Structure 1
Amino acid sequence: MFINEQSKMNLNGVPQFVSIRGEKKEAPLLVYLHGGPGDAALPLVMKYNKMLEQQFTVVVWEQRGAGKSYYKFIGPVTIDDFLNDLHVLVNYLLSRFQQNSLYLIGHSWGSILGLRFVEAYPELVRTYIGCGQVVNMRQSSKTAYEYALAHADKKSLEKLRGIDCSYQTDSWLNDLLFVTRQVVRHKGSLYGRTNYNDLVIPFLFSPYYTLPDLIRRQKGSLQAIQYLWQEVMQTDFEGQTHYGAPLIFIEGRYDSHVSSALVKNYFDRIETEKQFYWFENSCHFPQWSESERFNKLLCDLLA
């Protein structure tokens, strides 16, 4: 192992946990942007995407308030705060490793940060890889809600019919969490599974995650949704069809959590250098449901 650093960095005055691992000196940098908001993923990337460390210096950033970077938010927190943190992190990495640009993977919420970063700083991104890509959050929420409706039992159906899936009412948080649980329960989120147990186990056995870290992860996830969801709902890339860096979208064929059909429709209209890959045995998590294929694809495409 050439490098294995697990440490906190000060990004815009907020200590945040950053993992840097790689087997080769002078390997290109690859930064992983986790989902959520607030849903840290370090043990999952280490377990399922370890192969990437053979070819890249893999950086996993636990964003402000998430997982090992948890702290209690006071006052407003915006998407721009996360983009500014990412900009500081990227500039640090490029300077330290003497590179001009890097690869960026954005998953789910992280894909909002990823595409917005490409919009703002295309010269710093060699290629952007989006999976579980957010395109139009209002439309995606509607699709998830319709999936929940179509699969609901009688009791759930009654509750779902009273939900406004634009999540603007006073009960928006409970409504959002209920719809998400329904999508997960009916196998629209983690392929072939009715819960997220498979995604929790790596945290329990990770040498880098303690039980208090796991509790902080839960608190950080709920807090980030409370603070950021209304802004997340405004996300809409539909009008943007030109980017200053190449794009790769890797999508689970059966993703009803964040509609992959929407992503394909959007991809077809993009006028930048681009590639699209369907993963046929995945929903919202192709990087972990079909990790071997995902890792090999990235190593082959970005070699």
Structure 2
Amino acid sequence: MPINHQTTITLNGVPQYVSIRAERDHLPLLLYLHGGPGDAALPIVLKYNSELEKHFTVVVWEQRGAGKSYYDFGDSTVTIATFLEDLHALVTLLTERYRQEKLYLVGHSWGSVLGLTYTEKHPEKVRAYVGCGQVVNMKKASRTGYEFAAAHAGKKALARLKKADCTYTGENWLDDLLFVTKQIVKHGGSLYGRTNYNPLVTPFLFSRYYSIPDLIRRQKGSLQAIKRLWPELMEVNFEGRTEYGAPVIFVEGRHDVHVSSALAKEYYDTIQTEKQFHWFEHSCHFPQWSEHEKFHTLMVDLLH
């Protein structure tokens, strides 16, 4: 019997939107952790990854403050640890409800910070962790992205880039971050074969699960999360952490400079426990969508 639960559940006192879909009962759980921070992705996952519902019970969580889970953070304390606590609450709820000891965890970009950290802390809950656009060392990745932008910039953009601080610690760090990111996208280092994010916006406009107010909330949630979490995110560095109690799989776009895939491969080579690495040759930062059929095949292969 097909499963399609679109629901709001309370995690650590905060209502958060969760989509749970499968073509039949009793399929293994797969939890998708979106990027950002604050960049909800439900309509894109439904568009490009719905094939997974034949083999998994696919759970897409719109994290606190993101998309359909938007609320004003106000003066509350919101840190990476807050999201990890939410994640653990959700994993516990799902595994109990569906009577499964473990689940598959897919983390993209910001979500890969949560996913890899969670796998290290709670391997008993993870069948396998799949990192797409895996974050390793944010300071190094930011420098790589900045250098790519500078190498491709025109005269006017280069003048602006020379004023930017790619450590994103200065007074104008948010403006610098948004400008550098825009340049990376413009010159094809983020979404393969594209110079804008239009293909990632369209699914939201036509999704039956997203209203116009939801779209507005998504924009507000993304900006709020970046403002609140980016300084802490810049301190993330997995280098030196080489052992995980569950299998770790990296899915990397060969041309990703948004979050350097070259850095991900260097780090992967240091991991001492069960692991796999997959290059997606026609992808940058979004291999799970740019080459969704290949991604689907890879995920199904994990079941065998």
Q: TM-score range by the shorter chain?
A: over 0.9
What residue number does 2:3 align with? 3
Q: Equivalences for 1:9-158 in 2 at 5 Å?
A: 9-75=9-75, 76-158=77-159
Q: Which residue number corresponds to residue 287 of structure 1?
A: 288
Shift in Å, 1:300: 1.6
Q: How far did residue 25 of structure 1 move?
A: 1.4
The one-letter code sitting in structure 2 at the alignment partner of 1:204 is L
> Which residue does 2:206 correspond to in 1?
205
Moved over 2 A (4+): none
The one-letter code of the counterpart of 1:48 is Y
The Cα of 1:296 is off from its aligned counterpart by 1.3
Report the Cα distance in structure 2 between the residues aligned to 1:195 and 1:113, rounded to whole angstroms: 26
Residue 2 of structure 1, CA deviation: 1.8
Question: Structure 1: how far apart are the matches of 2:163 and 2:221?
Answer: 28
Structure 2 residue 207 is the aligned partner of structure 1 residue 218 = no
The corresponding residue for 1:238 is 239
What is the CA RMSD across the aligned residues, in angstroms?
0.7
Task: Give matches, 1:186-197, under 5 Å.
Answer: 186-197=187-198
Q: Distance in 2 between matches of 1:56 and 1:133?
A: 22
Pairwise CA distance, 1:302: 2.6
> Residue 248 in 1 paired to residue 249 in 2?
yes
CA distance in 2, matches of 1:138, 1:167: 9
Q: CA–CA distance in 1 between the matches of 2:145 and 2:171?
A: 20
Matched residue SS, 1:191 = coil
Taking the aligned partners of 2:7 and 2:66, their CA distance within structure 1 comes to 14
- Equivalent position SS for 1:74: coil
User: Deviation of residue 24 (structure 1)?
Assistant: 2.2
1:54, 1:243 → 2: CA distance?
29
CA deviation digits over 1:4-27, x for unaligned, max 9? 000100000000000000012111
Q: Structure 2 matches for 1:270-281, cutoff 5 A? A: 270-281=271-282
Shift of 1:297: 1.3
SS of aligned partner of 2:256: coil
- Matched with 1:260 is 261
CA distance in 2, matches of 1:190, 1:215: 23
Corresponding residue for residue 173 of structure 1: 174
Give the number of aligned pairs: 303
Q: Secondary structure at the match of 1:175?
A: helix
Q: In structure 2, what is the Cα distance between the partners aligned to 1:41 and 1:184?
A: 18
TM-score norm. by structure 2 comes to 0.99
Structure 1 letter corresponding to 2:92:
N
1:31 aligned counterpart, secondary structure: strand
Secondary structure (helix, strand or coil) at the match of 1:302 reads coil
User: Percent identity between the aligned chains?
Assistant: 67
- Write the distance in 2 (CA, Å) between the matches of 1:31 and 1:17: 13
- Quick one: distance in 1 between partners of 2:141 and 2:70? 28
Cα deviation 1:56-93 (Å, max 9, x = unaligned):
00000000000000000122310010000010000000
Distance 2:301 2:65 in 1: 34
Runs of 5+ in structure 2 lacking a partner? none
Q: CA deviation at 1:270?
A: 0.4
What SS does structure 1 have at the residue aligned with 2:302? helix
TM-score, normalising length: structure 1: 0.99
Specify the SS of the correspondent of 1:269.
coil
Q: How many Å separate the matches in 2 of 1:80 and 1:269?
A: 25
AA aligned to 1:280 is E
Distance 2:120 2:165 in 1: 31
Task: Give the residue type in structure 1 aligned to 2:23.
Answer: E
Matched, 1:184 2:147: no
- Residues of 2 paired with 1:91 and 1:182: CA distance? 40
| 1:119 shift after superposition | 1.3
Q: Distance in 1 between matches of 2:117 and 2:251?
A: 18
